[in-house]
Amino acid sequence: MKNSILRIYPVMFLALLIGFPPASTRAQEPDSMYPERIHPGPKEYALDVFIPHIWQGTKASFAREESLIAMGAGAWATAAVHTQDEKIDDYWHAEEPLGDAAFIGDIWGEGYIQAAACLGMYGWAWHTNDQRLATTAEVLTEAMIIQMLAINAIKPLVGRERPDSQDNLSFPSGHTGAAFTMAAVIDHRYGHKWGVPLYALALYTGLERMQDHMHYASDVTMGATIAMTVGYQTSRHHDDYPYKNAWHQEKINKISILPYSPDGKEFGLMMSMTLK
């Protein structure tokens, strides 16, 4: 019985993976299509791009029909796995099939590792003048933030106790979410050659969290569902450079400040701006 239950778990993830769209055609675009200067620069991203893109990615992840279908399928799979949570937890905690190498999954799912990966990709893109890689780092940053906010908002609302009784923040798994977000974005942007190994590492992360007695199988399932949906949808509907969805598309050319006294009694200042 235990062996059959354990076989269901990876098969379910494989089915979810196959159900998502294949790699983006952006991965095959020639380098000549990209500008010489890497976009966005740090200031450009902070002032013009970040907030509009986070909002755009959030809507794509949670308000589109295909996103709701994916979330619904994942929720159904989570409910099915939930019925076997105790049995699966007993096996993984007692047998520890991953052995001493399990720590790799724990480290890979840490938020600071994923943040370092985003920064490293962006820095290497600037060093090599690789616009596609810079855009991927931009997408990955946004998807990571969206899934992190979503998962950490759900955790206290559900209030599920962890298997080790450490706290009530078991559902969904944040480590699993971070790992599957990375896999989804890279798979969509660079294809299955890079995506499949990262999915294997993400699955390993989820299994490690179960072995470490930090999450139930259903926690991992829902974390992966949210992450895959956010990762793919944020990437698919991302506003790549040249941006259409930015705040400061028109730049201020000239500012004039003049004295202003409409009734001759009160005094103030009037500012005018010329846009180009």
- Give the pTM: 0.80
Burial class (CB in 10 A: 0-12, 13-18, 19+), 254: exposed
186-240 pLDDT tens trace: 999 999 999 999 999 999 999 999 999 999 999 999 999 999 999 999 999 999 9
CA distance 51 to 122: 19
Which residue from 237, 239, 235, 234 is spatially nearest to 249, judged by alpha carbons?
A: 239
| Full DSSP string of 25-49 | GGGGS-GGGS-SS-S--HHHIIIII
Whether pLDDT at 184 is above 60: yes
Which residue from 194, 198, 153 is spatially nearest to 176, judged by alpha carbons?
A: 198
Whether pLDDT at 18 is above 50: no
Q: What is the pLDDT of residue 198?
A: 97
184 or 258, which is more confident: 184
Residue located via tokens 């294997």: 200
Whether pLDDT at 72 is above 60: yes
Looking at residue 130, its amino acid is D
Looking at residue 157, its amino acid is L
Q: What is the pLDDT of residue 119?
A: 94
Region 115-142 average pLDDT: 95
Question: Domain spans of the chain?
Answer: 2-22+34-249
Q: What is the pLDDT of residue 84?
A: 96
Whether pLDDT at 117 is above 60: yes
- Distances in whole angstroms, Cα of residue 172 to Cα of each of 60, 64, 81, 157, 263: 20, 22, 13, 11, 63
- Distances in whole angstroms, Cα of residue 146 to Cα of each of 16, 34, 151, 214, 246: 20, 27, 9, 23, 18
Residue located via tokens 């354990």: 6
Q: What is the pLDDT of residue 196?
A: 97
CA distance 128 to 134: 10
